[in-house]
Structure 1
Amino acid sequence: MRRLLGRSLALLTLAGSAGAADVDTLISALKKSLGVEVRGAAVLELVFPPSKTPIRQARALPRLGAVPGLIRRNFSVTLAGQETLAGRTANRYLLTPTNAGAARWTIWIDSAWNLPLAYQEQMQDGTLARRAAFIRVNPAPTRLPAPLALTVSQPNLKKALLSILPGLKLPAGFEPLSVRFRRNAAGDSSSEVVLSDGLNVLALIAAKRPVRAAPGVAVRRLNASALWLVGTLPQSDLEAALEGIQTLDLGAISTLTGTFAPSNASEP
């Protein structure tokens, strides 16, 4: 019995070590991509949010805005074998979120260059949310003129946001990264808080003019203003995050933009 228990513990230790190694290897590639990127011809497919051009081509993959610390905390990462993409051998990593309602990801990393060649986001039911993959790559990666900034979570922003919006329940695993001020062509202004679990992104928007609730969009109307939360979480999770909020001070939220505005390099 003791021998069997010892073997079981050894297997669990080996499995844990393998998982830790997989996430370390993946994160090293994501960090490397901040200073070096693959270029060529990539096909981009965007299902959510809806777009007028859901399929298009680009020279490089759009930035993931990955947050390494949150990936470690919120995802189980597994190396699931190798595939050939754009004539290159790629390691395929599966990322399963600890939040059962969050989207899961697959990321393909070039085995020699240690750089992303493709990624795919799938919602809880397996529906594709977006995919980006190279169909052709240049002979060698390109070094960027200046490395991009690493995206990190903002504990002070979280504290300030929860103080301004008492009753807000951040979905499990999601942390605020930045706040930005927007003004549309009609002159209407809004403040947008970007939330992330490491890969999945939610947008919390405060404005005078509300939008209509829709799949992937929860709306909370408060007096003459409104909050809405946009993302690939289940509709019930988006609504639950906002339902406890009773007051909304647009001015207080807008003051956060000066302190926690995103840099161009690290926007998710």
Structure 2
Amino acid sequence: MNSKKAYRAELKKHLLFFAISLLMVVVLSAFLCTVTYAAPGISIDLNAGEDSGGTLGAIELLFLMAILALAPSILIMMTSFTRIVIVLSFLRNALGTQQSPPNQVLVGLALFLTLFIMNPVITEINKTAYIPYKEGVITQEVAAQRAVKPLKVFMLKQTQKKDLNMFLSISKSPVPQLKEGQSIEAFTDLGLEVIVPSFITSELKRAFTMGFLLFIPFLIIDMVVASTLMSMGMVMLPPAMIALPFKIMMFVLVDGWGMLMGTLVQSFR
């Protein structure tokens, strides 16, 4: 008898809990439906050829999704981000601090330095392309052309003549190759398929050159520490463990972070 009463009490408890949960779901669903009905939504009109009067056409929607999908590639391949993040990773390897600073800090620092360096380009794009397009003065095609031009000028300023001529010859472009004394900015009419790989090649060369120069002072410290330990007979003691505090101390005393940030920013100016 006691077991039956306990079973009935437990069953009533579960039924009560189920009823309360069902009531809460019904009330919440009704509230959400009311809010959804009252709130103005974004309408998508697949008839992109017609004047939809504020609705989002299929072509504009596809263009927006393509921009969002290509945003990381645009950030990495068409800005100063590549050089900065490679140099910062070289610095961490030269110091031998393993995961300090962590990747999140290095990427965040590279992003904000990129925003600082690219601020004039972003301002020009906003002034010449986005604001006129937003006000309806120019079309979408004209806005895209005006937005790409400042990026081309920035990339061409950082591109080495040898790399640009190499990709011009590979692509068999009708544009003549760059000659000595000729301004590289005169090639703004070239397509991004030539400018972007030329720019990235030059950026990789500069980043690895800066990384090599960063390694030299820390390598000297490693060699001095290793020679000292060998002369003292401490063969089993890892030289990297002893050299790490000296490398950190030297980097802090010479204001390494300030010098590195200033050099990185000035290398684009």
User: What TM-score results when the alignment is normalised by the length of structure 1?
Assistant: 0.24
- The structure whose residues are more often strand, as a share, is 1
Asked which structure has the greater CA Rg, the reply is 2
User: What TM-score results when the alignment is normalised by the length of structure 2?
Assistant: 0.24
